[in-house]
């Protein structure tokens, strides 16, 4: 078992790569986006053999973009606060200068000559698109080669595996991921990232509109960069068609202390390891000592109602998504049966047994859960819950001849609630368990992306992380 570096993650001392704090040096001329990029490329060269975060890079284009940005900073005419920021893009999203293979053999060498809406917006804002990061196949559960930067024997999570790992290994200050069930928050939590999974539809998904719970999210090393990337995209590309888009300030919102938080257990609670549970309870104790009122399922019938409404969240979310992908993935399996995994084929088979009525019934359950969530708005400022079911599990790979492991990139049980609620959440690396990161998330009402960001910022500043040996 390769471990690289050894399991020694400590959320109190780990320093992620950041961008917003170098801007003064760009302004004064002691640093440039090109030099920043070269440092990123050097880190990638050093870490990539073990981490395997990238599918493809385009160093030439990235250097040209960084040079153009350097000239703009020198002239005092940056396009935005992320002008020159190297950003990695999950390989589900189209890029005009790199293939889009989606972690799927059937799309090997797929060139679309088109930028996804968010990628287009990032380029308009002057960001440097550095490469495409590994995704689980088609954003599902069949894993790519990426390893967890804090223990190569463990999964980085998925499906935004490469984006999470690239941020965790300080290759880039930010990366785009996407989440349908738990594909942003879970890998971010396993890799110690800060990440925003915005309100459903708040960031334009561009060509990727064909499931009702997918969202484009941002992985970053700090809250400032996370917010800035999100808002710069939203100001240029807007939200999904028909949606109001991301609300919030043009700069990272200030820290605000929450008064009341609702603690949600979700279906993941019962399968949680003792150390992670103890770490989370210790964190809650710190919050209580800071004067925050914590409400739990036993404290209010409406909280219990929400818990009940999301108790089958993973089944509801995964089945809804399977149906929504049915026509497209069925056709893909028919066209290129050798080009898709056995895992995907199993999902397609399940979806093929569904009817429109089955799907409608699931939409109704989802809508009811959203009502339960909305009812809680007056009770508290936000929901707090774990972002993942403990540290990243070991992933030794499938064993030929054996049944497929059901969840090679980890369990999304703590993530499907926010997905089905269409609710924004921010994960913070507030726990260290057995030398590995475990995230904690704040979840808000729809369109409260900025509000939870202010509270997350306060938590980062005011609450020291908990470490369990």
Residues annotated as part of the active site: 90, 159, 183
Q: Is 211 in the site for a second copy (CB under 8 A)?
A: yes
Q: What is the footprint of a second copy within residues 302-331 (CB under 8 A)?
A: 323-324, 326-328, 330-331
Backbone angles phi, psi at 416, to 5 degrees: -65, -25
Q: What is the footprint of a second copy within residues 112-131 (CB under 8 A)?
A: 113-115, 117, 120-121
Q: What is the footprint of a second copy within residues 242-281 (CB under 8 A)?
A: 242, 244-245
Q: Is 349 in the site for a second copy (CB under 8 A)?
A: no
Closest CA to 393 of 273, 274, 219: 273
Count of CB atoms within 10 A of residue 15's CB? 8
Q: How many whole angstroms separate alpha carbon 61 and alpha carbon 122? A: 14
Min. distance of Cβ 333 from a second copy in angstroms? 12
**DSSP output for 173-188:** SEEEEEESSSTTHHHH
294 vs 354 by CB, closer to a second copy: 354
In the list 85, 167, 223, 234, the residue contacting a second copy (rule: CB under 8 A) is 234
Q: Binding marks (x or -) toward a second copy, 328..347, rule CB under 8 A?
A: x-xxx--x------------
Q: Is 359 in the site for a second copy (CB under 8 A)?
A: yes
Count of CB atoms within 10 A of residue 405's CB? 16
Give kind and range of the element (H or E) at residue 427. Answer: strand 425-433
269 vs 359 by CB, closer to a second copy: 359
58 vs 434 by CB, closer to a second copy: 58
Pairing of strands 128-133, 54-57: antiparallel
Q: Is 236 in the site for a second copy (CB under 8 A)?
A: yes
CA 456 to chain centre: 15
Q: Is 239 in the site for a second copy (CB under 8 A)?
A: yes
HSE (CB half, 13 Å, CA atoms) of 43?
21
Min. distance of Cβ 339 from a second copy in angstroms? 11
Q: How many whole angstroms separate alpha carbon 28 and alpha carbon 31? A: 8
Q: Binding marks (x or -) toward a second copy, 392..421, rule CB under 8 A?
A: ------------------------------
In the list 12, 260, 360, 462, the residue contacting a second copy (rule: CB under 8 A) is 360
Handedness of CA 108, 150, 342, 366 (dihedral sign): negative
Q: How many whole angstroms separate alpha carbon 259 and alpha carbon 165? A: 34
Min. distance of Cβ 338 from a second copy in angstroms? 15
CA 288 to chain centre: 28
Q: Is 446 in the site for a second copy (CB under 8 A)?
A: no
Q: Is 70 in the site for a second copy (CB under 8 A)?
A: no
């Amino acid at each position: 078992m390769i471990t690289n570096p050894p399991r020694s993650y400590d959320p109190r001392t780990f320093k992620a790569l950041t961008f917003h704090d170098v801007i003064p040096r760009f302004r004064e001329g002691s640093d440039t986006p090109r030099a920043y990029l070269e440092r990123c490329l050097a880190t990638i060269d050093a870490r990539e053999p073990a981490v395997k975060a990238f599918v493809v890079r385009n160093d030439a284009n990235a250097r040209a973009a960084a040079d153009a940005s350097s000239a703009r900073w020198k002239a005092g005419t940056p396009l935005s606060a992320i002008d020159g920021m190297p950003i990695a893009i999950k390989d589900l999203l189209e890029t005009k200068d790199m293939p889009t293979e989606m972690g799927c053999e059937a799309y090997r060498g797929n060139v679309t000559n088109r930028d996804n809406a968010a990628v287009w917006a990032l380029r308009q804002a002057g960001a440097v698109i550095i490469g495409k990061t590994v995704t689980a196949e088609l954003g599902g559960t069949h894993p790519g080669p990426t390893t967890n930067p804090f223990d190569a024997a463990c999964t980085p999570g998925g499906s935004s595996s490469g984006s999470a790992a690239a941020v965790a290994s300080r290759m880039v200050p930010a990366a785009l991921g996407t989440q349908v069930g738990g594909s942003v928050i879970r890998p971010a939590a396993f890799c110690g990232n800060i990440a925003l999974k915005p309100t459903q539809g708040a960031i334009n998904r561009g060509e990727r509109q064909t499931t009702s719970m997918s969202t484009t999210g941002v992985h970053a090393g700090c809250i400032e960069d996370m917010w800035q990337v999100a808002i710069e995209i939203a100001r240029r590309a807007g939200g999904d068609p028909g949606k109001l888009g991301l609300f919030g300030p043009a700069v990272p919102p200030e820290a605000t202390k929450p008064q009341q938080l609702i603690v949600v257990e979700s279906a993941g609670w019962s399968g949680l390891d003792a150390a992670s549970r103890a770490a989370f309870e210790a964190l809650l104790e710190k919050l209580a000592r800071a004067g925050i009122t914590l409400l739990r399922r036993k404290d209010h019938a409406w909280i219990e109602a929400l818990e009940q409404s999301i108790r089958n969240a993973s089944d509801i979310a995964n089945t809804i998504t399977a149906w929504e992908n049915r026509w497209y993935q069925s056709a893909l399996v028919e066209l290129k049966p050798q080009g898709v995994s056995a895992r995907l084929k199993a999902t397609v088979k399940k979806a093929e047994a569904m009817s429109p009525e089955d799907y409608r019934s699931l939409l109704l359950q989802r809508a009811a859960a959203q009502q339960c969530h909305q009812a809680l708005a007056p009770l508290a400022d936000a929901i707090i819950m774990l972002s993942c079911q403990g540290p990243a599990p070991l992933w030794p790979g499938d064993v030929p001849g054996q049944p497929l492991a059901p969840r090679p990139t980890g369990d999304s049980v703590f993530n499907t609630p926010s997905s089905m609620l269409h609710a924004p959440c921010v994960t913070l690396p507030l726990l260290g368990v057995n030398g590995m990161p475990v995230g904690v998330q704040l979840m808000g009402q729809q369109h409260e992306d900025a509000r939870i960001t202010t509270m997350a910022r306060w938590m980062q500043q005011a609450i020291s992380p908990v470490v369990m040996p």
